[in-house]
Structures are given as C-alpha cells and as structure tokens.
Amino acid sequence: MTSNVLTAAKGADLLQNIDQLLSQHEALWRAGSTAEPAPHYDELFLALRTLSAEDVAQLQSDDLMLLEQLSPHFADAKDILAILSYFTPPIAPPHIEPPSGIGGRKWQQIQAFCGGLASLSGNVIEWCSGKGYLGQALRFHPQHAPSSVIGLEIDSDLVASGNHRHTNTHQRIVRCDVLSEQAESFVADANAIIALHACGGLHQRMLKVAATTSTAQIALAPCCYHRFIEQYAPLSKAVNNSPLSITTQDLRLAVRQTVTARRGETQARRQLHHWWLASQQLSQQQGIALDQYRALPHSAAKKGFSYFVEQQCAANGIATLDMSNADTALANAANLQLAQEQRGLAAMLFRRLLELRCVLDSALFLCEQDYHVTLSVFCPSTTTPRNFLLSARRKNES
C-alpha cells in the first residue's frame, strides 16, 4: 500500500490539479448540466456509442479500466490516471474466515482497514459502530492493543445486540446520536477515534469533534459523501477558498458504483429502469401523464412488464395503459437505456476524482488543525470501492 504523507502545501497543489480538471470538463460531470458537450468531445462520444451493454456494465464498476480504455479518445484521462496513481491499492490479503455473524466481504474490509492503520492503543472510540465488528477485530489484531473500545451507535437494537456479543470484554456499545453534543463527552477521554464507512455528514462531524477534543489519533474510511447533509459544505479553508463549488447532488456521482452489489440486484435495478422508460413511451403516445415513479423492490423485476405498468398507473391515479404497442416500446426503451448508460460513462470518468476531492478536504482540514496526515488506499476496489483511508496523528503526540 502506498501511504502518502500530506502537507498543507502538497494538498493545495493536488487540489489545484483536481479543480483544474473538474472545471475544464464541468459539462461532462456536473449533475443536471444541460450544456451541450463541446465539439472536442465528439471523439469521446463516438467511442462511447460503440460500447455494448456488457462493455458498459464492466466499465461502470472499474474506474481505472474506464479511464484507460477511453484515454485514446479523451486526452485528459491520462492526467486523471496520473493523479490517482499516487494512491495504489494493496494486494488483497489472504482470506481469513470471519467470526460468526459477520459477512465475508465485510470482514475482508475490516481486516484490510485494521492492517492499514498505525498501531492504536489506549481508549478507542468506534464512530457509528453498529454491532462493533470493527472494534472486535481491532482487539484481536496483532498491530493494535486498545485498552478499551467504546462504540457509538444510534440504533438501540444494534446497541443491544453488540453488547450481548461483547459480554465480558473491554468493549461496549453505547446508544448515542453522533450528531448530538453527547458524542463529544465520549470522545474527550479517548486516545483514538476510528470509523469504517461513516457517511458524509457523520464523518464530517467525527472530524470536527476529534479536532475540538484534540484526539491523538484519527482513522477514517469515508463513504456516501452526500448523505446526512442538506447542502455540502467543505471542512477545510483550502477547499472553501476554491472557486469550484460542489453540490450535494454532484457528490452522488462519487459513489455511483455497483462493484459490491449482488449481480441479481444490479440486473433487477436495470430491468426496472428499462420498464420505466418503456412505460413513459407508452403513456406519452397515449397523451397520458405518468409523472410519479413508484419505487418497487428488486423482486418486482420477476413479475413482468404488465405488473410494473399496473403499479405505476396506480401511483399516478391512472386506470390503465393500452399495452398493444408494448413490444415496440420495450425495444425502443432498451436502445434509449443503453444510450443513457453510454453517455453516463463520460461523467464517471470524474467519479474517483470527485471522491478524492472530498477526502482531500477532510485531510486538509486536519492539517489545518495541527495533525500529521497520511492518505492511502487500504484495499482493492473489488473488496470495496470506498477504499480511501485517512489517518492522522496530532503533532504534539509521540
């Protein structure tokens, strides 16, 4: 694993390079952008239109493959690759059988996260802990020697289940809304605070609390940067001073990845979207407004197009649609769906860059709060695409 010490100056240079690329190609990635791509993108879109549905599905789940395959048709893909190459993922560790109750993929993520950390000791806070699986792994990991682990979790069922799991150990879970002031009282007595896949507003809150209480060590793998945030606001002065402004909606692009979804779930989601496009065509042909989409479980993909249309009509207060042209609508919708997905790959060229910008904001914030900071990638993207690891140690700590 390549671990990169981040100074304020180095972070500012990296931010400038990222923002230059994002600003230059804003029409490609900006959420809701209606701008027509400039003529110099013609070669890129011509290449995208040659991709099959299978090609698209593969490229949607692999940032580096996407950038490499499209670099002959989009020159700045090489510059994006050069930035991302600073964060080389490690080889997946040997498989270790997970303890009872923990899924295999989740256990791989936890083991990789623990292995990527500098040695932790003293009292450790696990932020948004769930049942405390990460803290459990930390207690048994040869690199670490926590004297106690306290998990902060809002879900009372998870708290109860976690405490039952960790009976007669130096680990416990307490019910706590981490967005409340109560969280600070727990963190104030801790030597370290850790979080694996804490979402947007939750991990921003964690870093603010850790900095306020002068926590000695911080370790974070962030996730879902748009969640628990009404409007995204950077933490660092450096990113706040950037002329490029990112919205919460823009950040959805940073986590549009299906590598860890079950194949059946991905296929079902795509099938339901296909049917929605087809039902839209039918309704428009018949002069009927079908504006409200009724979200259905993945199992609905097994019930057929007619069932799907019935559900959407019910949600819109419509008796029914004439289904006599259903086959034509389905064929046209398949072509439209593929064209949308091909076009979507142009935005996904910037997906990892947007994510890195969010992580960089957190890292620069900690630099500004007098921490030594490193950025790394703690596992391959096949284990989890949310694999950035931010580690920090307060400068006055040995």
pLDDT at 100: 86
H-type helices in the chain, by residue range? 8-24, 26-29, 42-48, 53-60, 63-70, 77-84, 104-115, 133-140, 156-165, 182-187, 200-212, 237-240, 248-251, 263-285, 305-315, 326-348, 351-368
* β 217-223/192-199 pair status: parallel
CB 90 within 8 A of CB 379: yes
pTM over 0.85: yes
> How would DSSP label each residue in 90-111?
PPPPPP-PPPTT--HHHHHHHH
Q: pLDDT per residue over 116-162, tens digit each?
A: 999 999 999 999 999 999 999 999 999 999 999 999 999 999 999 99
Q: How far is CA 290 from the centre of its chain?
A: 31
Question: How many CB atoms are closer than 10 A to CB 167?
Answer: 8
pLDDT at 270: 92
pLDDT at 252: 87
Beta bridge partners, 375, equal 4, 390
Q: How far is CA 268 from the centre of its chain?
A: 21
pLDDT at 1: 43
pLDDT at 217: 97
Per-residue pLDDT of the chain (398 residues; tens, 9 = 90+): 455 889 999 999 999 999 999 999 999 998 666 556 788 899 999 999 999 999 999 999 899 999 999 999 999 999 999 999 989 888 877 778 888 889 888 999 999 999 999 999 999 999 999 999 999 999 999 999 999 999 999 999 999 999 999 999 999 999 999 999 999 999 999 999 999 999 999 999 999 999 999 999 999 999 999 999 989 999 999 999 999 999 999 998 887 765 555 677 888 999 999 999 999 999 999 999 999 999 999 999 999 999 999 999 999 999 999 999 999 999 999 999 999 999 999 999 999 999 999 999 999 999 999 999 999 999 998 899 999 999 999 998 75
Q: pLDDT per residue over 250-309, tens digit each?
A: 998 887 765 555 677 888 999 999 999 999 999 999 999 999 999 999 999 999 999 999
Q: From the CA atom positions of the chain, what is the Rg in Å?
A: 23
pLDDT at 260: 52
CB 51 within 8 A of CB 60: no
Report d(CA 114, CA 112) in Å as an integer. 6
* CB-based contacts of 280, cutoff 8 Å, min separation 6: 290, 333
